[in-house]
A and B are shown apart, each in its own frame.
Chain A
Amino acid sequence: MVQFLQQIVNGLSLGSIYALIALGYTMVYGIIKLINFAHGDIYMLGAYVGFICTVQLGLGFFPALIIAMVTCAIIGVVIEKIAYKPLRNATRIAALITAIGVSYFLEASTQKIMGTSAHSFPDVLGTQTFNVLGVVISMKQIIIFVVTILLMLLLQYVVQKTKIGRAMRAVSVDADAAQLMGVNVNATISYTFAIGSALAGAAGVLVGIYYNTVSPLMGLVPGIKAFIAAVFGGIGIIPGAMFGGFFIGIVETLVTGYGSSLYKDAVVYIILIIILIVKPAGLLGKNVKEKV
């Protein structure tokens, strides 16, 4: 039982990271129906910004987090403007291939600037741990989880209760009608990229302090896992991405804890395949026909 709870605690930390990345995938997909394959690399950039802030500038955790989020938001918006916006009316496959191109570009640029090898991240949060009935919980895990929950609450507030959130939802269901209300569709898409990328940036900083390392290709695997989490929860559905992220994170740690880490990816893929067969729109998705 203690071991099980321990795995759940570990899974929640990993799941937090996946969930934060998955949110950006799902929001961008919701609004422009693009699988933004460069999203995992935004997360990697966030980790590097966090690294630079803490190691080279000597800043603390929270300033580093904020700076990484802002930087990633700006990068996300610029990428959308340069790479995706000109393809707004092109085929989906053209945009998808472009996204893969952007992904390579970000990875190669980071390798060029920061070098190809990994850097180690300092322990900005200390190594304090708590023992709760035999379950070891570290300060880092608590902070990762709390920051993630706070960001999710903030996101829910913005999306559900504010004008810009309503505009984002309106554009994602009916861009023309939103335009007839006076919504600036391009600006709304930019906001969506900004928010999604900021969340990925936060995930990058959190993962940096969790695993104490950053590298140019670190976005690849978590990017894919977060994408699976988004599809699992129902792509385009925000609570789906949150749930999917935590679920995938917990499954991975349980498989690693009880079986072998060799199997963890396979299990995640099998779950995805089952979901796609049983409920193609994702766990929280409605199985609606595509609107004509």
Chain B
Amino acid sequence: MLEVKDIHVHYGAIHALKGVTLNVKQGEIVTLIGSNGAGKSTLLKTISGLLHPTKGDVVFLNNSIIKKDSKYIVKSGITQVPEGRHIFPGMTVYENLLMGAYLRKDKDGIQQDLESVYKRFPILKERLRQDASTLSGGEQQMLAMGRALMARPKLLLLDEPSMGLAPILVQQIFDIIKDINATGTTILLIEQNARMALSIADRGYVMETGKIVLSGTGEQLSQSEEVKKAYLGG
């Protein structure tokens, strides 16, 4: 479904991605783990069209999207929940959700998806008219995910959705991710919480300083000595 082929990304003189290759197949949950500054967010921003690589290609549904703008990419079915949530402060929860459906014109479909977001995140329904910036961290994460689902994505990119959340909420978020996947959305999940991520992922990649250094099924990676030492605390 998604193929990232040997991409290089620079921030000025900083060479952030040094030839990254990975793929995500229809229906999978694929996780990408790696320490701070490895280049994980950079990769997602590149897939979403916020950054453009100096070399390499990104193919989505047999279509190169590397030269496309983010509008085209969202339209073709890739939506991202960015690191740090980035909900729109000063706008209500409802308006934030509508922003997720920005490119859609099917009123009935939007209404249906609103209902299913309310069902998945009942707290959002209670807070609809509230300024989104007044939500708690966990609620903001749910809003960010609900907003992304409003685009009805084929591929959902999640950048550290468990960041800064209490353990019980982390569990809840991971359950929701599994459920979103079960209802037909393919997922590329970036996580620092390697244990949880690998436990729900079909496959995983490990990134270090701009390169993929390991890959395998979730199980294989959980068992790997290198991963255990570096990311699972021994």
Binding site for B on A (CB under 8 A): 163, 166-167, 169-170, 173-174, 176-184
* A184 neighbours in B (Cβ, 8 Å): 69, 71
Could you write out 11 A-B pairs with CB less than 8 Å apart?
A163-B102, A166-B102, A169-B88, A169-B95, A170-B99, A173-B91, A178-B88, A178-B99, A179-B50, A181-B74, A183-B71
| Apart from A177-B86, A177-B87: 18 A-B pairs, beta carbons within 8 A | A166-B91, A166-B102, A167-B102, A169-B90, A173-B88, A174-B86, A174-B89, A179-B48, A179-B49, A179-B71, A180-B48, A180-B70, A180-B82, A181-B103, A181-B147, A182-B74, A184-B69, A184-B71
**Residues of A contacting B: mostly:** helix
Report A121 CB to chain B, min CB distance, Å. Answer: 40
Instruction: Across the interface, name the chain A residue whose C-beta is closest to B89.
Output: A173
Report B102 CB to chain A, min CB distance, Å. Answer: 5
Q: Are B89 and A181 in contact (CB under 8 A)?
A: no
Report B12 CB to chain A, min CB distance, Å. Answer: 12
Contacts A170-B99, A176-B86, A177-B82 given; indicate if A182 touches B91 (C-beta within 8 A): no
> Interface residues of B toward A: which range?
20 to 34
Q: Are B71 and A182 in contact (CB under 8 A)?
A: yes
* A183 neighbours in B (Cβ, 8 Å): 71, 99, 102
**Residues of B contacting A: mostly:** loop
Instruction: Across the interface, name the chain B residue whose C-beta is closest to A160.
Output: B95
Report A118 CB to chain B, min CB distance, Å. Answer: 43
Q: Are A180 and B80 in contact (CB under 8 A)?
A: yes
How distant is the Cα of A181 from the Cα of B48 in the complex, in angstroms? 10
Q: How many A-B residue pairs have CB under 8 A?
A: 64
Binary contact track B50-66/A, C-beta < 8 Å → 1, others 0? 10000000000000000
Q: Are B103 and A182 in contact (CB under 8 A)?
A: yes
Report A156 CB to chain B, min CB distance, Å. Answer: 15
Q: Are B103 and A180 in contact (CB under 8 A)?
A: no
Binary contact track B26-52/A, C-beta < 8 Å → 1, others 0? 000000000000000000000011100
Report B52 CB to chain A, min CB distance, Å. Answer: 13
How distant is the Cα of A179 from the Cα of B102 in the complex, in angstroms? 10
* A163 neighbours in B (Cβ, 8 Å): 98, 102
- Counting CB contacts under 8 A, is B79 at the interface? yes
- Counting CB contacts under 8 A, is B75 at the interface? yes
Report B132 CB to chain A, min CB distance, Å. Answer: 10
Binding site for A on B (CB under 8 A): 48-50, 69-71, 74-75, 79-80, 82, 86-91, 95, 98-100, 102-103, 147, 151
* A177 neighbours in B (Cβ, 8 Å): 82, 86-88
* B100 neighbours in A (Cβ, 8 Å): 181
How distant is the Cα of A264 from the Cα of B90 in the complex, in angstroms? 36
* A173 neighbours in B (Cβ, 8 Å): 88-91
Instruction: Across the interface, name the chain B residue whose C-beta is closest to A286.
Output: B90
* A179 neighbours in B (Cβ, 8 Å): 48-50, 70-71
Report B43 CB to chain A, min CB distance, Å. Answer: 15
Report B190 CB to chain A, min CB distance, Å. Answer: 15
* B103 neighbours in A (Cβ, 8 Å): 181-182
Report A238 CB to chain B, min CB distance, Å. Answer: 12
How distant is the Cα of A198 from the Cα of B151 in the complex, in angstroms? 33
* B80 neighbours in A (Cβ, 8 Å): 180
How distant is the Cα of A166 from the Cα of B90 in the complex, in angstroms? 11
For the complex of A and B, the 6 pairs showing the least CB-CB separation, nearest first, are A182-B74, A177-B86, A182-B103, A181-B102, A179-B70, A182-B71
Q: Are B74 and A180 in contact (CB under 8 A)?
A: yes
Report A271 CB to chain B, min CB distance, Å. Answer: 27
Instruction: Across the interface, name the chain A residue whose C-beta is closest to B69.
Output: A184
How distant is the Cα of A182 from the Cα of B69 in the complex, in angstroms? 9
Report B126 CB to chain A, min CB distance, Å. Answer: 22
Report B81 CB to chain A, min CB distance, Å. Answer: 9
Q: Among B70, B71, B79, B91, point to the contact of A170 (Cβ < 8 A).
A: B91
How distant is the Cα of A169 from the Cα of B132 in the complex, in angstroms? 13
Instruction: Across the interface, name the chain A residue whose C-beta is closest to B85.
Output: A177
* B102 neighbours in A (Cβ, 8 Å): 163, 166-167, 181-183
Report A170 CB to chain B, min CB distance, Å. Answer: 5
* A169 neighbours in B (Cβ, 8 Å): 88, 90-91, 95
Report B217 CB to chain A, min CB distance, Å. Answer: 30
How distant is the Cα of A94 from the Cα of B49 in the complex, in angstroms? 27
* A170 neighbours in B (Cβ, 8 Å): 88, 91, 99
How distant is the Cα of A166 from the Cα of B99 in the complex, in angstroms? 7
Report A88 CB to chain B, min CB distance, Å. Answer: 14
